[in-house]
Amino acid sequence: MSGEGRPELEPIDGAGLRVTIVSGLWHNTIADGLLNGARRVLAASGAEVTEIGVPGSFELPIVAKAALEAGADAVVALGVIVRGETPHFDFVASAATDGLTRVALDTGKPVGFGVLTVDTEQQGLDRAGLPDSKEDVGGRAAEAAIAVARALRRIGARPAPGARPAALD
pLDDT, tens digit, for every residue of 106-141?
999 999 999 999 888 888 878 877 788 898 889 999
Is position 128 within any domain? yes
Share of the chain above pLDDT 90, in %: 53
Give the Cα separation of 84 and 129 in Å (integer). 23
Give the Cα separation of 52 and 10 in Å (integer). 27
What is the set of active-site residues?
88
Residues 6 or more apart whose CB falls under 8 angstroms from that of 137 comprise: 34, 37, 114, 116, 127, 128, 129
Q: What is the pLDDT of residue 88?
A: 72
How far are the Cα atoms of 9, 113, 159, 160 from residue 23, in angstroms, in the given order? 23, 11, 23, 24
Residue 114's nearest CA partner among 32, 15, 14, 16 is 32
Confidence category of residue 1, pLDDT binned at 50, 70, 90: very low
> Between residues 8 and 162, which one has the greater pLDDT?
8
Q: State phi, psi for 160 to the nearest 5 degrees.
A: -60, 150
- CATH number, domain with residue 49: 3.40.50.960
User: Domains in the chain: how many in total?
Assistant: 1
Is position 107 within any domain? yes
> Between residues 95 and 89, which one has the greater pLDDT?
95
Average model confidence (pLDDT) across the chain? 85
Domain hosting 131: range is 27-58+103-113+122-147
Is position 139 within any domain? yes
pLDDT of 55 above 80: yes
How far are the Cα atoms of 64, 69, 76, 150 from residue 167, in angstroms, in the given order? 17, 10, 19, 17
Is position 155 within any domain? no
Q: What is the pLDDT of residue 10?
A: 59
Side-chain half-sphere CA neighbours of 133 within 13 A: 24
> Between residues 165 and 148, which one has the greater pLDDT?
148
